[in-house]
Structure 1
Amino acid sequence: MADPILSLSEVTLTLAGNAGPVEILHGISLDVRPGETLGLVGPSGSGKSSLLMLMGGLERASAGRVTALGRDLTAMNEDQLARFRREHMGVVFQSFHLIPTMTALENVATPLELAGHRDAFERARDELCAVGLGSRIDHYPSQMSGGEQQRVALARAAAPRPHLLLADEPTGNLDGSNGAAIMELLFGLRDRHGATLVLVTHAADLAARCDRVIELADGRISGDAARRAAE
């Protein structure tokens, strides 16, 4: 069996609150295999998004260890983490996080340029076409619908050909039809680039498409189940 692409060992997360420290995650241990699609589910406040942030090095564990592609994220400084994410991860948030003064093409190409890709704009154009936005590449976020903005965010996440694709409620701000379209695109990007996909979702139909579903409650894993046989 292949080594995990992502591994968490006895990870805890404690954040400062108004009334003192708040324990968000308690002793999480979890392995994710290359090519696996993992859904993180659970009620609001269960720690799903915090767990995803730890996986992406966007939040630092209070204790325990997080490794990705054999690299210890807990030992990296902020610059090293940023470089690692840029080279190996794509992250999609519920609220798009597009730069309002940049066109769709520029939003997708800029991270590629920063990573030193000489074909940044060509690759960005290809990814926007792949998510159905070939005719919108020169439009600004304010000129696009929520569904179109999330497509730009997907293209931006997929353009570097990441090993890991992390998505936090990617359909949460969209209506049913747009949410379904984004869901199809998300799994299509996974298949096209061979990325390992980890997603946080409240949508039962989205979770049902994952190879495996981890359920969280009160900052602990309360369930771990395969949802469909491996192909």
Structure 2
Amino acid sequence: MPTTQAADPLIDLASVTLSLSGNAGRVDILRGIDLRVMRGETVGLIGPSGSGKSSLLMVMGGLERASSGQVRALGQDLSALNEDALARFRRDHMGVVFQSFHLIPTMTALENVATPLELAGDRDAFDKAAEELRSVGLGARLDHYPAQMSGGEQQRVALARAAAPRPDILLADEPTGNLDGTTGEAIMDMLFGLRDRGATLVLVTHAPELAARCDRVVGLRDGLLDPDSAAAARAEAAE
């Protein structure tokens, strides 16, 4: 796999489009996105519902294939990888946090966090998973199932699962969207704490306070980059 120099973008999107076909015909979701994310950056993706934020995040992670253009991460052309190779790349280099948690309901918190480590062949998967859960304040919840935990606790499990493999890139889609203000603030602190481990963060958010903590805010509207909405977000955060 090609090496990435510190001055090179960690994520590099060039002329990326995404179109999906449905009963109503073709829908153009992304319409030519050029975006670079540098190593160690935190980037907030903002914009109205339906603007393409979550789709852009999924394209960055190889969870959705671009219809055209080029998506590179860590110097690797993701469009050149088949599904198995993409899964291995995400396993080795990426963590993803979804708004709806996506925990496995039949697994305990410990098992949920240990699973990606086990898949990567880590012999200390359960010890590392326990350590990660303790770091997010869930040391007493290791053996609890998702249904036995609050939404905030489930999101912390999801964050621990994404962070445990020490990913180069962490993608988060509305990570505080389902949480109350106090819990959301705690999750934000945990997310930005991952930078100390060397993670590069890309976050989709509607929350001005979360966008304000990012190094850079990127606005989207109708599948295109929208500098005006990014400037408005910065102004709102400064008030």
Q: TM-score range by the shorter chain?
A: over 0.9
Distance 1:222 1:189 in 2: 28
For structure 1, the residue ranges without an aligned partner over 5 or more in a row are: none
Q: Which amino acid aligns with 1:39?
A: G
Distance 1:51 1:199 in 2: 11
SS at match of 1:5: strand
2:56 match: 51
Q: Which amino acid aligns with 1:213?
A: V
Displacement of 1:213:
0.4
1:198 match: 202
1:128 match: 133
1:218 and 2:222 correspond: yes
1:110 match: 115
C-alpha RMSD of matched pairs (Å) = 1.2
TM-score normalized with structure 2 length: 0.92
1:60 match: 65
1:30 and 2:45 correspond: no
Identity %: 76
TM-score normalized with structure 1 length: 0.95
Query: What CA deviation, in whole Å up to 9, does each residue of 1:103-157 have, x standing for no partner?
Result: 1000000110011011101110111011000111111101100000000000000
Distance 1:194 1:209 in 2: 17
Query: What CA deviation, in whole Å up to 9, does each residue of 1:69-91 have, x standing for no partner?
Result: 00000111110100000000000
Distance 2:84 2:12 in 1: 21
Q: Which amino acid aligns with 1:203?
A: A
Matches within 5 A, 1:1-231: 2-191=7-196, 193-223=197-227
For structure 2, the residue ranges without an aligned partner over 5 or more in a row are: 1-5, 235-239
SS at match of 2:191: helix
SS at match of 1:173: coil
Distance 2:216 2:115 in 1: 34
Q: Which amino acid aligns with 2:32?
A: G
Instruction: State how many pairs are aligned.
Output: 226
Distance 1:149 1:210 in 2: 24
Q: Which amino acid aligns with 1:132?
A: G
Distance 1:172 1:19 in 2: 29
Distance 1:51 1:85 in 2: 16
